[in-house]
Structure 1
Amino acid sequence: MSILTNKCNLFKILAQDVYLLNNIRFKSQTSSEYCLNLVRTNDYENFVCTLFLKNPHRSSALAIRSFNIEVSKISERVSQVDIGRMRLKFWEETIDKCFQKDPLNVPQHPVALEIYKASLREKLTKRHFKTLIISRSELLNKNSFNTMSELETYAEKTVSTVYYLILESCGIKNIHADHAASHIGKAQGITQLLRTIPLAKKINFIAIPQDILVNHKVSHEDVLRNKISDNMVESCLDLASRANEHLVKARDLMSNVPSQAKTVFLPTTAVDNYLNRLSNVQYNVFHPSLLHRSWFWLPKLWLTNYKNKY
């Protein structure tokens, strides 16, 4: 049996698994409820911020974030790169079907159904969905970034792209909003990676770029063992400082950003909250207080939205 035949069979099995899961697990809830619960369970801070959007924009945003969760979780769920790529291939073909505007071709997966509905409501860019898939595929066989620039590119592709799609789903076409989304995505992406540093051994990924580790003489073993030191603190400070720089640049654009886009950008409050908490513990990413969800940012979130800021 050829390699191509093996891969085709594997893809069929994976697709069958998805449909089987749909029939068993998703039967008791609507596709929109599934997406809402998926984001609430796996991406709570973004979930809370998304609730400030009004329907149908909220439903579209939840669909987009659900799709992002589905593709991002693949690397955690598989131990073999080929299987991961086949699952990503499933989503790539699913996106193609969602944009063909034929409901009969759309897989009966709740996320796919919600993406299809969102694509009917607003003109979404298919290329952005493909970017989310490709960027995850490129990371399947890597366990670190070589440079800070490479990390920022990854954050742009995986987080900023989500914001581009949500802006489109809200009917917002504004160059200043796109520019702000780019910086916010990088700030949030870097912050998310900072938060994974204590999990390096568990997820087999070192979030601190190699150039920073070399510059501060920190070894991979130090990161995997969660060994705190002055050099480790300096490494984390470099990451946090870059995230904050992007946050400041995004907020400098605020006066030119449309009002509705500012609601889309509310997750900046959660990013700001974590960076402040990290600063309060002298950039020790392993500090116990950082391992628990903070609720202190919620009043600030409400106030930020009330003032129509981000």
Structure 2
Amino acid sequence: MILRLKCSSKFYNPRRLLNHKASSNESSINYCATIVRQYDYENYLATLLLSKTLRSPALVVRAFNAEIARVQDQTTDPNTAALRLQFWQDAVGVIFNQNSANIPANPVTQELNKVCATYKLPRRYIERLVSSRAGLLKAKYFKSLEDVETYAENTVSTIYYLLLCIAGVTNVHADHAASHLGKAQGIVNILRSVHVSNYHKTVCLPMELLMKYKISQQAVLRGSDDENMRNVIFEIASRANSHLEKARKIEVPTICNQLFLPAIAVDKYLNKLQKKNFNVFDKSLQLGSPMLPLSLYYRRLLNKY
């Protein structure tokens, strides 16, 4: 026997509940957007130009990436950083074990759970974003430029693989382009993080190159600019530019052109670095480009990256 309870409209309003749910969801997306805007501004600008159906899930993925990427910047204590990364690793485990009741009450994890379920995102990509940061936390430095490339592949390229999954693109050429673009952007991120790394008394430039040009870690931490230092930066920037050019030469499905828009910011930084004669310590390199939003919008109109 089924008992039907009589609900008073004073206490029960289906429309109000639906509006509340929509409002809550919108609030979580806005939270994710705020995280990306604050900590990953250039990618935020590019994400705003995505098609409406791609924009929200892309912001969620980038918010998750921003949260784990900034763990090392939040503390100088490696144990604290490891614990914070473990929180995100555990959250990923809960999400893919489909245990919704135990998902942390965090807007990013809540929205990531929805995106992973809706778009069937591969677990290995999400876990790779966390494990690669944990690996760098233990290693503390890059031995070679190849190590930097591997790190860029596991972090930045992986983001593009996830965006391709969201867009429903299963194309080997798109994956190949995403790999090269991610490596280019990841290497540029290392160059741009020299100032931040110096603040934390760590050297992010590959040790083999520093040894090749007889540059000490202390010289890097002091921000010493000389010909040998510029040779190191030139080699690193050249590798990034090579990956960027390879990515742009690959013919990809049309929808990929909007996903790969961050290439514009990478190109701008490398050109600016070249104009500064590869002095990575030049303070103007830390300033954003006021023309970047317009450049991104123009390339989006052309549907090119």
Give the structure-2-normalised TM-score. 0.88
Counterpart position of 1:281: 276
1:224-303 equivalent positions in 2, closer than 5 A: 224-253=221-250, 256-303=251-298
- Give the conservation status (yes or no) of the 8 Å contact 1:200–1:223: no
State the 1:79 CA deviation. 3.3
1:185-204 equivalent positions in 2, closer than 5 A: 185-204=182-201
- Give the conservation status (yes or no) of the 8 Å contact 1:74–1:84: yes
Counterpart position of 2:164: 167
- Give the conservation status (yes or no) of the 8 Å contact 2:213–2:228: yes
Could you list the per-position Cα deviations for residues 151-195 of structure 1 after superposition, in whole angstroms to 9, with x for gaps in the alignment?
Answer: 110111011011111111121111111111100110000001111
Secondary structure of 2:236's match?
helix
Counterpart position of 1:152: 149
- Give the conservation status (yes or no) of the 8 Å contact 1:143–1:204: no
Matched, 1:33 2:14: no
State the 1:102 CA deviation. 4.4
- Give the conservation status (yes or no) of the 8 Å contact 2:49–2:297: no
Distance 2:82 2:221 in 1: 26
Aligned pairs, number: 282
Distance 2:227 2:279 in 1: 9
Which 5+ residue runs of structure 2 have no aligned equivalent?
Answer: 1-23
Distance 1:231 1:66 in 2: 37
Distance 2:31 2:79 in 1: 28
Counterpart position of 2:63: 66
State the 1:84 CA deviation. 2.3
The RMSD of aligned alpha carbons is 1.7
Q: Look up the equivalent residue of 2:267 and give its one-letter code.
A: D
- Give the conservation status (yes or no) of the 8 Å contact 1:166–1:264: yes
1:60-99 equivalent positions in 2, closer than 5 A: 60-99=57-96
Which residue of the other structure, out of 116, 120, 124, is the alignment partner of 2:117? 120
Secondary structure of 2:288's match?
coil
State the 1:260 CA deviation. 1.0
Distance 1:149 1:140 in 2: 18
Distance 2:289 2:207 in 1: 30
Secondary structure of 2:193's match?
helix
Secondary structure of 2:290's match?
coil
Which residue of the other structure, out of 103, 108, 133, is the alignment partner of 2:130? 133
Which 5+ residue runs of structure 1 have no aligned equivalent?
Answer: 1-26
Greater shift, 273-282 or 138-147, is seen at 138-147
Secondary structure of 1:30's match?
helix
Counterpart position of 2:105: 108
Distance 1:264 1:205 in 2: 32
Distance 1:198 1:102 in 2: 41
Matched, 1:180 2:181: no
State the 1:76 CA deviation. 2.0
Counterpart position of 2:218: 221
Distance 1:88 1:298 in 2: 32
Greater shift, 73-82 or 239-248, is seen at 73-82
Matched, 1:46 2:43: yes
Q: Look up the equivalent residue of 1:109 and give its one-letter code.
A: N
State the 1:120 CA deviation. 2.5
State the 1:54 CA deviation. 2.1
Greater shift, 229-238 or 292-301, is seen at 292-301
State the structure with more CA Rg.
2
Greater shift, 81-90 or 122-131, is seen at 81-90
Q: Look up the equivalent residue of 1:263 and give its one-letter code.
A: Q
